[in-house]
Amino acid sequence: MLVKIFLALSSVSPHIKKLLWKQWYQFLASHYPTKKWSFMNYGYTAIDDHAETLKLNEADETDRYAIQLYHHVTGAVDLTNLDVLEIGSGRGGGASYVARYLKPKTLTAMDFSDRAIQFCKHAHVVDELSFLKGDAESLPFDAASFDAVINIESSHCYGSMETFLANAKRVLRQNGYFLYADFRNKNDVSLLQSQMEKSGMKILKREDITANVLRSLDLDDQRKLILIRALFRDWLLKPFQEFAGMKGSKIHFGFQSRTMIYLHYVLQK
């Protein structure tokens, strides 16, 4: 019921959609400030069982699938010694992974939820990593400040994708990279493609990773179920299972039936 109301209201206008998402992320960050939960994406895994396994420290193994999404999306570019911005950094696990493993010169992780930013400042203390509140559609940075922008599973919350892309382009240096992943209803896939084409940046890569994301959801389902049952009260269990894309959820069915498509893009300014 809650999910239905949320979806109905968010389809009224882009402004309301953005407002609702903000309230949701503010609520999650303020009510669940646990360090056991650092990611809010659907994850990625190879389809081929013989694919090389990403080497992770023991402590990061729990978040393997969510980390693999970051690893896959950022993998097109060597981020060593670059100035990197993440937009929509959520609970900060991805920014922490990128800062610790991929060694950028600086990593600025930004989110419009100030509660999430407060949480991240305590949860992820890593050299060269800083967290800052800001809106993807009005980036609080000078032009040409970054060599790469990372944006993972966040843009579906925005009021205007065009405004966001113009902002991302503005803060990138010439030849800088835009590293992106998110899902769309299949009817909006061609709109996203034309938004990318009109962004004024060059599309270096476009990849449909729906099958990889779906496999990750399946492989991570049990672990997430245990975490969700431990964290959430009864009335939030169902909405949260929907949000997390658990087996039986609309989003899981959407990826299965390919009415929802998960895309990865790499653009260059």
Instruction: Out of 77, 116, 149, 209, point to the residue binding ligand SAM (CB under 6 A).
Output: 116
Calpha distance 175→182 (Å, rounded): 23
Look up residue 26 and give its two tokens. 């503010």
Residue with smallest beta-carbon separation from ligand SAM: 90
Query: Is 25 among the residues that bind ligand SAM (CB under 6 A)?
Result: yes
Residue 54: CB minimum distance to ligand SAM, A = 16
Among 6, 17, 37, 40, binds ligand SAM (CB under 6 A): 40
DSSP letters, the chain, are -HHHHHHHHHTT-HHHHHHHHHHHHHHHHHH---TT----S-----SSTTSPPPP--GGGGGGHHHHHHHHHHHTTS--TT-EEEEES-TTSHHHHHHHHHH--SEEEEEES-HHHHHHHHHH---TTEEEEE-BTTB--S-TT-EEEEEEES-GGG-S-HHHHHHHHHHHEEEEEEEEEEEEEEGGGHHHHHHHHHTTSSEEEEEEE-HHHHHHHHHHHHHHHHHHHHHH--HHHHHHHHHHTT-TTSHHHHHHHHTSEEEEEEEEE-
Q: Is 176 in the site for ligand SAM (CB under 6 A)?
A: no
Stretch that binds ligand SAM, among 86-94, 97-105, 191-199, 260-268 (CB under 6 A): 86-94
Map residues 135-174 to x or -, x wherever contact with ligand SAM holds by CB under 6 A: xxx--------------xxx--xx----------------
Nearer to ligand SAM, 94 or 176 (CB): 94
Check binding of 241 to ligand SAM (CB under 6 A).
no
Q: Does 120 bind ligand SAM (CB under 6 A)?
A: no
Q: Which residues, 6 or more positions from 153, have their beta carbon under 8 angstroms from its beta carbon? A: 40, 41, 42, 69, 88, 181, 182, 183
| Choices 76-84, 89-97, 117-125, 209-217; region in contact with ligand SAM by CB under 6 A | 89-97
Question: How far apart are CB 29 and ligand SAM at their closest, in Å?
Answer: 8
CB of 229 to ligand SAM, least distance (A): 20
Binding-site residue total for ligand SAM (CB under 6 A)? 23
Region of 83-91, 141-149, 198-206, 207-215 interacting with ligand SAM (CB under 6 A): 83-91
Question: Is the dihedral angle over the CA atoms 194, 199, 205, 206 positive or is it negative?
Answer: negative
Span from 110-118, 194-202, 212-220, 258-266 in contact with ligand SAM (CB under 6 A): 110-118
42 binds ligand SAM per the rule CB under 6 A:
no
Contact positions vs ligand SAM (CB under 6 A): 21, 25, 39-41, 87-90, 93-94, 111-113, 116, 135-137, 152-154, 157-158
